[in-house]
Amino acid sequence: MQPSKQLKPAAHGFRAAARRDPAWVRWLLTSLAVAVVGVLIVIPVTHVFYQALKPGWATYWNNLTADADTRHAIMLTLIVAPSAVVANVLFGVVAAWAIARFRFPGRTLLVSLIDLPFAVSPVVAGLMLLLIFGMQGVLGPWLREHNIQIVFALPGLILATMFVTMPFVVRELLPVMEAIGDEEEVAAVSLGANAWQMFWRVTLPNIKWGLLYGVILCNARAMGEFGAVYVVSGRIERQTYTMPLRVEKLFQDYDNPASFAVASVLTFLALVTLLVKVVLERKTQGELAEVAALRQPGEQV
Protein backbone atom coordinates (compact mmCIF):
# COMPACT_ATOMS: atom_id res chain seq x y z
CA MET A 1 0.00 0.00 0.00
CA GLN A 2 2.83 2.41 0.75
CA PRO A 3 5.73 1.72 -1.57
CA SER A 4 6.69 5.38 -1.35
CA LYS A 5 7.82 4.87 2.23
CA GLN A 6 10.84 2.84 1.05
CA LEU A 7 12.75 5.62 -0.59
CA LYS A 8 15.73 5.05 -2.78
CA PRO A 9 18.54 7.21 -1.42
CA ALA A 10 19.08 9.02 -4.73
CA ALA A 11 15.47 10.04 -5.00
CA HIS A 12 15.22 11.24 -1.45
CA GLY A 13 16.09 14.88 -2.01
CA PHE A 14 13.56 15.54 -4.71
CA ARG A 15 10.85 13.52 -2.98
CA ALA A 16 11.23 15.53 0.17
CA ALA A 17 11.26 18.78 -1.79
CA ALA A 18 7.98 17.88 -3.46
CA ARG A 19 6.21 17.74 -0.10
CA ARG A 20 8.04 20.49 1.75
CA ASP A 21 6.53 23.89 2.22
CA PRO A 22 8.78 26.97 2.27
CA ALA A 23 10.22 27.76 5.71
CA TRP A 24 8.15 30.91 6.22
CA VAL A 25 4.94 28.99 5.47
CA ARG A 26 5.91 26.32 7.99
CA TRP A 27 6.68 28.94 10.63
CA LEU A 28 3.52 30.90 9.99
CA LEU A 29 1.17 27.89 10.02
CA THR A 30 2.82 26.30 13.06
CA SER A 31 2.60 29.54 15.04
CA LEU A 32 -1.02 30.00 14.03
CA ALA A 33 -1.92 26.45 15.06
CA VAL A 34 -0.13 26.84 18.38
CA ALA A 35 -1.96 30.12 18.91
CA VAL A 36 -5.33 28.49 18.17
CA VAL A 37 -4.74 25.64 20.61
CA GLY A 38 -3.27 28.09 23.10
CA VAL A 39 -6.30 30.37 23.10
CA LEU A 40 -8.98 27.68 22.84
CA ILE A 41 -7.51 25.01 25.11
CA VAL A 42 -4.35 25.91 27.06
CA ILE A 43 -5.43 29.31 28.41
CA PRO A 44 -8.84 28.05 29.63
CA VAL A 45 -7.27 25.07 31.44
CA THR A 46 -4.65 27.28 33.07
CA HIS A 47 -7.36 29.75 34.00
CA VAL A 48 -9.36 27.10 35.87
CA PHE A 49 -6.44 26.32 38.17
CA TYR A 50 -5.47 29.98 38.48
CA GLN A 51 -8.98 31.01 39.58
CA ALA A 52 -9.31 28.04 41.91
CA LEU A 53 -5.99 28.65 43.64
CA LYS A 54 -6.03 32.46 43.62
CA PRO A 55 -7.37 32.74 47.19
CA GLY A 56 -4.58 30.44 48.39
CA TRP A 57 -4.23 26.74 49.09
CA ALA A 58 -5.98 26.90 52.44
CA THR A 59 -9.10 28.52 51.02
CA TYR A 60 -8.98 26.12 48.07
CA TRP A 61 -8.96 23.13 50.37
CA ASN A 62 -11.67 24.71 52.48
CA ASN A 63 -13.83 25.32 49.40
CA LEU A 64 -13.61 21.66 48.53
CA THR A 65 -13.99 20.02 51.91
CA ALA A 66 -15.72 22.39 54.33
CA ASP A 67 -18.99 22.76 52.43
CA ALA A 68 -21.28 19.80 53.13
CA ASP A 69 -23.14 20.35 49.84
CA THR A 70 -19.93 20.20 47.84
CA ARG A 71 -18.79 17.11 49.74
CA HIS A 72 -22.09 15.45 48.97
CA ALA A 73 -21.81 16.35 45.28
CA ILE A 74 -18.35 14.78 45.10
CA MET A 75 -19.61 11.61 46.80
CA LEU A 76 -22.61 11.44 44.50
CA THR A 77 -20.46 11.72 41.38
CA LEU A 78 -18.26 8.94 42.77
CA ILE A 79 -21.37 6.73 42.96
CA VAL A 80 -23.14 7.74 39.73
CA ALA A 81 -20.20 7.63 37.32
CA PRO A 82 -18.83 4.18 38.27
CA SER A 83 -22.35 2.68 38.24
CA ALA A 84 -22.96 3.93 34.71
CA VAL A 85 -19.50 2.77 33.63
CA VAL A 86 -20.02 -0.75 35.00
CA ALA A 87 -23.37 -1.06 33.18
CA ASN A 88 -21.89 0.16 29.93
CA VAL A 89 -18.81 -2.05 30.18
CA LEU A 90 -21.08 -5.06 30.51
CA PHE A 91 -23.17 -3.88 27.60
CA GLY A 92 -20.10 -2.87 25.58
CA VAL A 93 -18.33 -6.23 25.84
CA VAL A 94 -21.46 -8.25 25.07
CA ALA A 95 -22.56 -6.01 22.18
CA ALA A 96 -19.06 -5.91 20.67
CA TRP A 97 -18.95 -9.71 20.83
CA ALA A 98 -22.26 -10.00 18.96
CA ILE A 99 -21.36 -7.39 16.35
CA ALA A 100 -17.70 -8.22 15.73
CA ARG A 101 -17.93 -11.99 15.79
CA PHE A 102 -21.22 -12.73 13.99
CA ARG A 103 -22.97 -11.66 10.81
CA PHE A 104 -26.74 -11.28 11.01
CA PRO A 105 -29.46 -9.25 9.35
CA GLY A 106 -29.85 -5.76 10.79
CA ARG A 107 -26.25 -5.64 11.99
CA THR A 108 -25.53 -2.23 10.42
CA LEU A 109 -28.74 -0.84 11.88
CA LEU A 110 -27.67 -2.06 15.30
CA VAL A 111 -24.35 -0.23 15.00
CA SER A 112 -26.12 2.99 14.04
CA LEU A 113 -28.55 2.60 16.95
CA ILE A 114 -25.64 2.34 19.36
CA ASP A 115 -24.36 5.69 18.04
CA LEU A 116 -27.68 7.37 18.67
CA PRO A 117 -26.89 8.81 22.13
CA PHE A 118 -24.03 10.77 20.55
CA ALA A 119 -26.53 12.59 18.35
CA VAL A 120 -29.37 13.13 20.81
CA SER A 121 -29.21 16.32 22.86
CA PRO A 122 -28.55 15.45 26.53
CA VAL A 123 -31.49 17.61 27.53
CA VAL A 124 -33.78 15.56 25.28
CA ALA A 125 -32.33 12.38 26.79
CA GLY A 126 -33.16 13.60 30.27
CA LEU A 127 -36.64 14.64 29.23
CA MET A 128 -37.33 11.21 27.73
CA LEU A 129 -36.55 9.62 31.11
CA LEU A 130 -38.91 12.09 32.81
CA LEU A 131 -41.63 11.07 30.38
CA ILE A 132 -41.33 7.44 31.50
CA PHE A 133 -40.52 7.64 35.19
CA GLY A 134 -41.69 11.14 36.19
CA MET A 135 -44.97 12.01 37.89
CA GLN A 136 -46.55 12.77 34.51
CA GLY A 137 -44.69 9.87 32.91
CA VAL A 138 -46.00 6.64 31.47
CA LEU A 139 -44.98 4.61 34.52
CA GLY A 140 -45.39 7.52 36.95
CA PRO A 141 -48.62 6.49 38.70
CA TRP A 142 -47.53 2.87 39.07
CA LEU A 143 -44.17 3.87 40.51
CA ARG A 144 -45.79 6.22 43.00
CA GLU A 145 -48.19 3.52 44.10
CA HIS A 146 -45.27 1.24 44.84
CA ASN A 147 -43.25 4.02 46.39
CA ILE A 148 -40.39 3.74 43.94
CA GLN A 149 -38.52 6.95 43.22
CA ILE A 150 -36.53 7.01 39.99
CA VAL A 151 -36.32 10.55 38.67
CA PHE A 152 -35.24 13.29 41.06
CA ALA A 153 -33.26 10.52 42.79
CA LEU A 154 -30.16 8.37 42.40
CA PRO A 155 -31.58 5.80 39.91
CA GLY A 156 -32.57 8.59 37.52
CA LEU A 157 -29.11 10.14 37.67
CA ILE A 158 -27.52 6.78 36.90
CA LEU A 159 -29.96 6.03 34.06
CA ALA A 160 -29.39 9.43 32.45
CA THR A 161 -25.63 8.96 32.67
CA MET A 162 -25.92 5.44 31.26
CA PHE A 163 -27.89 6.74 28.30
CA VAL A 164 -25.41 9.47 27.43
CA THR A 165 -22.27 7.32 27.82
CA MET A 166 -23.65 4.14 26.23
CA PRO A 167 -21.62 4.16 22.98
CA PHE A 168 -18.12 4.72 24.41
CA VAL A 169 -17.04 1.17 25.33
CA VAL A 170 -18.56 -0.56 22.27
CA ARG A 171 -17.06 2.05 19.95
CA GLU A 172 -13.57 1.36 21.32
CA LEU A 173 -13.93 -2.43 21.38
CA LEU A 174 -15.38 -2.94 17.88
CA PRO A 175 -12.31 -1.92 15.83
CA VAL A 176 -9.98 -3.78 18.23
CA MET A 177 -11.98 -7.01 18.03
CA GLU A 178 -12.36 -6.76 14.26
CA ALA A 179 -8.62 -6.19 13.82
CA ILE A 180 -7.59 -9.04 16.10
CA GLY A 181 -9.86 -11.49 14.33
CA ASP A 182 -11.44 -14.65 15.68
CA GLU A 183 -8.73 -17.26 14.94
CA GLU A 184 -7.53 -17.62 18.52
CA GLU A 185 -11.06 -17.87 19.85
CA VAL A 186 -12.03 -20.48 17.28
CA ALA A 187 -8.89 -22.42 18.19
CA ALA A 188 -9.73 -22.25 21.88
CA VAL A 189 -13.26 -23.52 21.31
CA SER A 190 -12.08 -26.25 18.96
CA LEU A 191 -9.67 -27.43 21.63
CA GLY A 192 -12.58 -27.82 24.02
CA ALA A 193 -12.70 -24.58 25.96
CA ASN A 194 -16.14 -23.56 27.15
CA ALA A 195 -17.47 -20.05 26.56
CA TRP A 196 -16.37 -18.82 29.96
CA GLN A 197 -12.81 -20.14 29.61
CA MET A 198 -12.52 -18.75 26.10
CA PHE A 199 -13.63 -15.31 27.26
CA TRP A 200 -11.33 -15.10 30.29
CA ARG A 201 -8.26 -16.71 28.74
CA VAL A 202 -8.40 -15.52 25.13
CA THR A 203 -10.82 -12.68 24.44
CA LEU A 204 -10.28 -10.54 27.52
CA PRO A 205 -6.47 -10.59 27.43
CA ASN A 206 -6.65 -9.59 23.76
CA ILE A 207 -8.98 -6.67 24.24
CA LYS A 208 -7.86 -5.48 27.66
CA TRP A 209 -6.17 -2.23 26.59
CA GLY A 210 -8.96 -1.28 24.23
CA LEU A 211 -11.45 -2.02 26.98
CA LEU A 212 -9.57 0.08 29.50
CA TYR A 213 -9.41 2.91 26.99
CA GLY A 214 -13.20 2.72 26.53
CA VAL A 215 -13.67 2.72 30.30
CA ILE A 216 -11.53 5.85 30.65
CA LEU A 217 -13.45 7.77 27.99
CA CYS A 218 -16.79 6.56 29.32
CA ASN A 219 -15.82 7.59 32.85
CA ALA A 220 -14.69 11.05 31.77
CA ARG A 221 -18.00 11.70 30.10
CA ALA A 222 -19.97 10.14 32.96
CA MET A 223 -18.34 12.36 35.57
CA GLY A 224 -18.84 15.46 33.47
CA GLU A 225 -22.36 14.91 32.19
CA PHE A 226 -24.49 17.98 32.73
CA GLY A 227 -27.57 18.37 30.49
CA ALA A 228 -29.22 14.98 30.97
CA VAL A 229 -28.46 14.85 34.68
CA TYR A 230 -29.64 18.43 35.14
CA VAL A 231 -33.09 17.57 33.77
CA VAL A 232 -33.66 14.37 35.80
CA SER A 233 -32.07 15.67 39.01
CA GLY A 234 -34.84 18.04 40.03
CA ARG A 235 -31.96 19.86 41.75
CA ILE A 236 -32.51 18.86 45.35
CA GLU A 237 -29.74 20.12 47.59
CA ARG A 238 -27.66 17.35 49.16
CA GLN A 239 -29.58 14.73 47.22
CA THR A 240 -29.22 15.05 43.48
CA TYR A 241 -26.40 17.53 42.90
CA THR A 242 -23.47 15.95 41.10
CA MET A 243 -20.16 17.78 40.71
CA PRO A 244 -20.96 19.51 37.39
CA LEU A 245 -24.35 20.61 38.75
CA ARG A 246 -22.61 21.89 41.86
CA VAL A 247 -20.24 23.93 39.66
CA GLU A 248 -23.25 25.59 38.07
CA LYS A 249 -25.03 26.17 41.38
CA LEU A 250 -21.99 27.86 42.91
CA PHE A 251 -21.59 29.95 39.77
CA GLN A 252 -25.24 31.07 40.02
CA ASP A 253 -24.64 31.96 43.68
CA TYR A 254 -21.69 34.17 42.65
CA ASP A 255 -19.32 31.97 44.63
CA ASN A 256 -16.65 31.95 41.95
CA PRO A 257 -13.69 30.61 43.96
CA ALA A 258 -15.72 27.61 45.17
CA SER A 259 -17.14 27.00 41.71
CA PHE A 260 -13.65 27.00 40.21
CA ALA A 261 -12.37 24.79 43.02
CA VAL A 262 -14.87 22.06 42.10
CA ALA A 263 -14.19 22.70 38.40
CA SER A 264 -10.46 22.30 38.98
CA VAL A 265 -10.98 18.77 40.32
CA LEU A 266 -12.95 17.89 37.18
CA THR A 267 -10.29 19.51 34.99
CA PHE A 268 -7.57 17.56 36.75
CA LEU A 269 -9.50 14.35 36.04
CA ALA A 270 -9.78 15.36 32.38
CA LEU A 271 -6.01 15.87 32.17
CA VAL A 272 -5.39 12.48 33.80
CA THR A 273 -7.81 10.96 31.28
CA LEU A 274 -5.78 12.42 28.42
CA LEU A 275 -2.56 11.08 29.88
CA VAL A 276 -3.93 7.56 30.32
CA LYS A 277 -5.41 7.77 26.83
CA VAL A 278 -1.99 8.48 25.30
CA VAL A 279 -0.42 5.53 27.12
CA LEU A 280 -3.23 3.15 26.21
CA GLU A 281 -3.32 4.24 22.59
CA ARG A 282 0.32 3.31 22.29
CA LYS A 283 -0.34 -0.08 23.88
CA THR A 284 -3.30 -0.97 21.64
CA GLN A 285 -1.44 0.12 18.53
CA GLY A 286 1.53 -1.99 19.58
CA GLU A 287 -0.68 -5.03 20.00
CA LEU A 288 -2.49 -4.55 16.73
CA ALA A 289 0.87 -4.21 14.97
CA GLU A 290 1.94 -7.51 16.56
CA VAL A 291 -1.18 -9.23 15.28
CA ALA A 292 -0.65 -7.78 11.82
CA ALA A 293 2.97 -8.95 11.80
CA LEU A 294 1.95 -12.50 12.75
CA ARG A 295 -0.49 -12.73 9.85
CA GLN A 296 0.64 -13.99 6.48
CA PRO A 297 1.68 -11.09 4.27
CA GLY A 298 -1.13 -10.20 1.88
CA GLU A 299 -3.85 -11.66 4.03
CA GLN A 300 -6.61 -9.14 4.47
CA VAL A 301 -8.47 -8.58 7.69
Stretch that binds another protein, among 61-69, 142-150, 237-245, 286-294 (CB under 8 A): 237-245
Interface positions, 35-74, toward another protein (CB under 8 A):
36-37, 39-45, 47-48, 51
User: Least Å distance between CB 62 and another protein?
Assistant: 19
* Identity of residue 187: A
Total binding residues toward another protein, as defined by CB under 8 A:
106
User: Least Å distance between CB 45 and another protein?
Assistant: 7
- The answer to whether residue 79 forms part of the interface with another protein (CB under 8 A) is no
Interface positions, 204-233, toward another protein (CB under 8 A):
217, 220, 223-227, 230-231
77 or 287: CB nearest another protein: 77
Q: Which of 15, 54, 144, 238 binds another protein (CB under 8 A)?
A: 15
Spatial CA neighbour of 88 closest among 215, 227, 174, 220: 215
Determine the Cα–Cα distance for residues 176 and 209; give it in Å rounded to an integer. 9
Task: Output the 3-class SS for the chain.
Answer: CCHHHCCCHHHHHHHHHHHCCCHHHHHHHHHHHHHHHHHHHHHHHHHHHHHHHCCCHHHHHHHHHCCHHHHHHHHHHHHHHHHHHHHHHHHHHHHHHHHHHCCCCCHHHHHHHHHHHHHCCHHHHHHHHHHHHCCCCCCHHHHHHCCCCCCCCHHHHHHHHHHHHCHHHHHHHHHHHHHHCCHHHHHHHHCCCCHHHHHHHHHHHHHHHHHHHHHHHHHHHHHHCCHHHHHHHCCCCCCCCCHHHHHHHHHHCCCHHHHHHHHHHHHHHHHHHHHHHHHHHHHHHHHHHHHHHHCCCCCCC
Stretch that binds another protein, among 23-31, 146-154, 205-213, 292-300 (CB under 8 A): 23-31
User: Least Å distance between CB 60 and another protein?
Assistant: 16
55 or 117: CB nearest another protein: 117
Q: Which of 83, 161, 240, 267 binds another protein (CB under 8 A)?
A: 267
User: Least Å distance between CB 61 and another protein?
Assistant: 19
User: Least Å distance between CB 232 and another protein?
Assistant: 10
Interface positions, 107-166, toward another protein (CB under 8 A):
110, 112-125, 127-132, 134, 136-138, 159, 162-163, 166
- The answer to whether residue 32 forms part of the interface with another protein (CB under 8 A) is yes
Stretch that binds another protein, among 61-69, 142-150, 245-253, 288-296 (CB under 8 A): 245-253
User: Least Å distance between CB 228 and another protein?
Assistant: 9
**Cα maximum dimension of the chain:** 83
- The answer to whether residue 91 forms part of the interface with another protein (CB under 8 A) is yes
85 or 159: CB nearest another protein: 159
